[in-house]
Homo-oligomer: A and B are copies of this chain.
Amino acid sequence: MQVNKHIQVTMDKIQHFPVLCWKTSKKVGAEDPRRIIHSLKVGLSLTLVSLLYLIEPLFKRLGSNATWAVMTVVVVLEFTAGATLCKGLNRGLGTLLAGSLAFFIEGVANRSGRVFRACFIGAAVFLIGAAATYMRFFPKIKKNYDYGVVIFLLTFNLITVSSYRVDNVLKIAHDRLYTIAIGCGVCLLMSLLIFPNWSGEELHNSTVLKLEGLAKSIEGCVNEYFFDTEIDENKESCSGDQIYKGYKAVLDSKSIDESLALQASWEPRHSSHCYRIPWQQYVKLGGVLRHFGYTVVALHGCLQTEIQTPRSVRILFKDPCTRVAREVSKALIELANSIRNRRHCSPEILSDHLHEALQDLNKAIKSQPRLFLGSNRNKASNMLALAAAEAGQKRCRSGGSLSSVKTDSSALMEWKTKRASEQSREAERKVLRPQLSKIAITSLEFSEALPFAAFASLLVETVAKLDNVIDEVEELGRIACFKEFINGDDHEEQHITVKCEKPKINVSQNQLSSVSGAE
């Protein structure tokens, strides 16, 4: 029976496999249609280099070395132009260097007897192999030329070793270089001229998306924190997941940003606005955004923490907090728009509203001084109890924490005696142990006031960090020669004269002012 069922399940899986494949294909294509274009480009390139074999005159000329063109296309042609260039140049450089070194060694080895020659070649292969591999651990080489060193090693070994058996090595090397050049040529043609995808473009867009994601996250956090179960029931969907999505892309962006910037630095200039686009500044901005993101994570953490300020107490601060969050989020979206349209950001980016909202928050907190008192004062305790009673019962966990507040040391003792008697039973340990620090925390009375204070403080912290973000975006705008800000610019798409501060690049300045004049 068991086996039958297993077979049944496997059969089902096989039957559903084509459908699953088709669905995945459609999804992958819908997510980014450029993928389909890229696949067709690779197919076309491969067919082109195959012609070296299939067409008689070409094959007579190049012979079986044509395989190297095929190999080059398969290995070098990448999704973005920058990655292709980076790999292509690495391949070219590695091949050239390896070729030169191999010929040098060949020259030395040739002057001696056959056995000594074999030993010499063996030793050279060992030494160069070990040295090149060791060099791959150097941080600078690992970052920029890892692939080049692999190709160097590959070519060097192939040439050196085959030179022992073949006589016209020079002819082989020549043909091979020729076909590799053809392969690289096809790759460059495909990636630079036919529907090119630019790594720089990708980096630029991802930066915009990150800013927008953070904006959404902050607003989401604050909305959920003051979320009133009764009034806006249908807003539930736009919470947790959305907030997480907003900052997730930012947190994990480091390696992607860096490789995109590296690839982008190989790409030829394709912007009419600036001589050289400062990709490293994008990486730096990414770092600042990550730090901003950590604060947002901490803010999100306030929603999920064990002890919660009762909802009825929170509601007192709803208005100013929501406004602060809205203003921060507005500023972030303005920054995103400024980068998207490659213009400086509005001078109004930190508006009066933000300041007013901060002041209101201040006033609101000052108007409730008793909140921040410990409950050893009767009034405060009563007030909190009242608030909790109001809010409580409605799936509000924090309400519960209030009533169990007084059990601190007894709960702990109970837990400990239980624990001591059953120490060896793993399963129970799993159930019991995690309670300890929760008991320890929820049993403390200060916790009622602290969570909201932390929330407010983190919210204020986002405003402070907003400064760094604005700084970096302005720096980016300055180096990348963004347009001046003009009101309503985003809609009318007016191209204003480009102001560039770098004095050294006057030639290209003239070029680009003529370009913008022509528009």
Contacts and interface: CB of A to CB of B under 8 A. Distances in A.
A377 interface: yes
A291 B290 CA distance: 14
Interface stretch (A8-16, A334-342, A351-359, A390-398): A351-359
A165 interface: yes
A3 to B, nearest CB: 16
Interface in A407-451: 408, 412, 419, 423, 426, 429-430, 433-434, 436-438, 440-441, 444-447, 449-451
Contacts of A131: 39, 43
Contact of A366 (B128, B130, B306, B374): B374
A319 interface: no
A54 B372 contact: no
Interface residues on A, range: 35 or more
A173 to B, nearest CB: 14
Contact of A460 (B165, B419, B447): B447
A382 interface: no
Contacts of A291: 297
Nearest to A119: B54
A175 interface: no
Interface stretch (A44-52, A205-213, A220-228, A233-241): A44-52
A51 B165 CA distance: 12
A59 to B, nearest CB: 6
Q: Kindly report how many copies of this chain are found in the complex they form together.
A: 2
A117 to B, nearest CB: 9
Contact of A467 (B374, B438, B453): B438
Nearest to A55: B118
A373 B372 contact: yes
Nearest to A354: B440
27 contacts: A24-B138, A35-B134, A42-B129, A43-B130, A43-B131, A44-B126, A45-B129, A46-B129, A46-B157, A50-B161, A59-B165, A66-B161, A67-B162, A70-B154, A70-B157, A306-B464, A350-B436, A350-B437, A355-B440, A361-B444, A361-B446, A362-B446, A366-B376, A430-B478, A434-B470, A437-B467, A440-B463
Interface of A: 24-25, 28-29, 32, 35-36, 38-40, 42-47, 50-51, 53-54, 59, 64, 66-67, 70-71, 74-75, 118, 121-122, 125-131, 133-134, 137-138, 150, 153-154, 157-158, 160-162, 164-166, 251-252, 254-255, 290-291, 294-295, 297-298, 301, 305-307, 347, 350, 354-355, 358-359, 361-362, 365-366, 369, 372-374, 376-377, 408, 412, 419, 423, 426, 429-430, 433-434, 436-438, 440-441, 444-447, 449-451, 453-454, 456-458, 460-461, 463-464, 466-467, 470-471, 474, 478, 501
